[in-house]
């Protein structure tokens, strides 16, 4: 087990439906990171922005963007995670891809479709939760709108780190900030939330406001509004475990079953 985990989030102004330019930008940023970086988190749909036009940009799991993720992970000896549009069995999904330094891949399909934007009419909703084991840390990765649903997020697996990647608009950014802290507090877990900046083709504005939060809801690291930059922090598993043991809140959680 690795007690300390060096995590990074890359907050970026995504180029609309242009994987080539977005991959080039993220490759440059990843190449500049400290050598002790363990985990890098990218925004939701990091190759395209939050598009409802999957027929134009969808890729296969053996496509260029996933291969790029594997290359970046293995060359830089990091875990790399982000979501992108994947076509599979003649359907489209908003798929989170977690790539280990070895190139091993684990995936999660976004559970909660953002109906306000019609995501439910375009993308197939996921049915399974995923817990990634990385360097002795149990990590639960989720996507954007999942943040609003605490039952789906509930820490029934004793995970150590909760990840959210998003295209969360500036008009509702207060909810983003509040809910990230709520998820950290109620689940006694580190949380990293990585959002995009800029304006997309639909004229929606994104301010970023990415955060890394400890298990008591305190900000460890944050990026200012509209700042395109790197978010980073060193997380300590022993310190979090001591807080969990002292408070014991997770011992009192309710048991429940989710109908899928």
Per-residue pLDDT of the chain (260 residues; tens, 9 = 90+): 899 999 999 999 999 999 999 999 999 999 999 999 999 999 999 999 999 999 989 999 999 999 999 999 999 999 999 999 999 999 999 999 999 999 999 999 999 999 999 999 999 999 999 999 999 999 999 999 999 999 999 999 999 999 999 999 999 999 999 999 999 999 999 999 999 999 999 999 999 999 999 999 999 999 977 777 899 999 999 999 999 999 999 999 999 999 87
CA angle 231/237/145 to nearest 5° reads: 50
Do the domain assignments include residue 254? no
Annotation marks residue 110 as catalytic? yes
Do the domain assignments include residue 260? no
Strand partners of residue 195: 166
Catalytic residue among 17, 144, 181, 237: 144
Annotation marks residue 246 as catalytic? no
DSSP class of 63 = S
* CB-CB neighbours of 92 under 10 Å: 18
| Terminal-residue alpha carbon distance, the chain | 33
CB-based contacts of 71, cutoff 8 Å, min separation 6: none
Do the domain assignments include residue 259? no
Is residue 237 within 8 Å of residue 160, measured between CB atoms?
yes
Residue 109: domain span? 4-249
Do the domain assignments include residue 43? yes
Domain count, the chain: 1
Q: Is the entire prediction scored with pTM above 0.85?
A: yes
Of the candidates 169, 200, 197, the residue with the CA atom closest to the CA atom of residue 48: 200
Catalytic residue among 17, 59, 93, 110: 110
Catalytic residue among 44, 59, 106, 119: 44
Q: Which CB contacts under 8 angstroms, 24+ apart, belong to 117-121? A: 117/50, 117/52, 118/52, 119/52, 119/94, 119/145
For residue 131, give the CATH number of its domain: 3.60.110.10
Do the domain assignments include residue 40? yes
Annotation marks residue 44 as catalytic? yes
């Amino acid at each position: 087990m690795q007690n300390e985990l060096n995590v990074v989030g890359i907050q970026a102004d995504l180029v609309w439906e242009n994987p080539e330019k977005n991959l080039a930008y993220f490759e440059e940023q990843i190449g500049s990171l400290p050598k002790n970086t363990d985990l890098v988190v990218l925004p939701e749909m990091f190759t395209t922005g939050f598009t409802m036009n999957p027929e134009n940009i969808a890729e296969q799991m053996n496509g260029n963007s996933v291969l790029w993720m594997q290359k970046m992970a293995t060359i830089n000896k990091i875990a790399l995670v982000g979501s992108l549009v994947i076509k599979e069995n003649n359907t489209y999904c908003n798929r989170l891809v977690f790539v280990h330094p070895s190139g091993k891949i684990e995936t999660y399909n976004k559970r909660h479709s953002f109906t306000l934007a019609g995501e439910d009419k375009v993308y197939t909703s996921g049915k399974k939760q995923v817990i990634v084991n990385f360097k002795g840390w149990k990590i639960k990765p989720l996507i954007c709108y999942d943040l609003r649903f605490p039952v789906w997020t509930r820490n029934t697996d004793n995970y150590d780190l909760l990840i959210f990647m998003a295209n969360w608009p500036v008009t509702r950014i207060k909810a983003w900030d509040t809910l990230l802290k709520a998820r950290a507090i109620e689940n006694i877990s580190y949380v990293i939330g990585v959002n995009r900046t800029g304006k997309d083709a639909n004229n929606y504005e994104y301010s970023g406001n990415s955060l890394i939060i400890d298990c008591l809801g305190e900000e460890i690291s944050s990026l200012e509004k509209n700042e395109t930059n790197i978010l980073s922090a060193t997380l300590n598993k022993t310190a979090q475990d001591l807080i969990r043991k002292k408070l014991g809140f997770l011992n009192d959680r309710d048991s429940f079953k989710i109908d899928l």
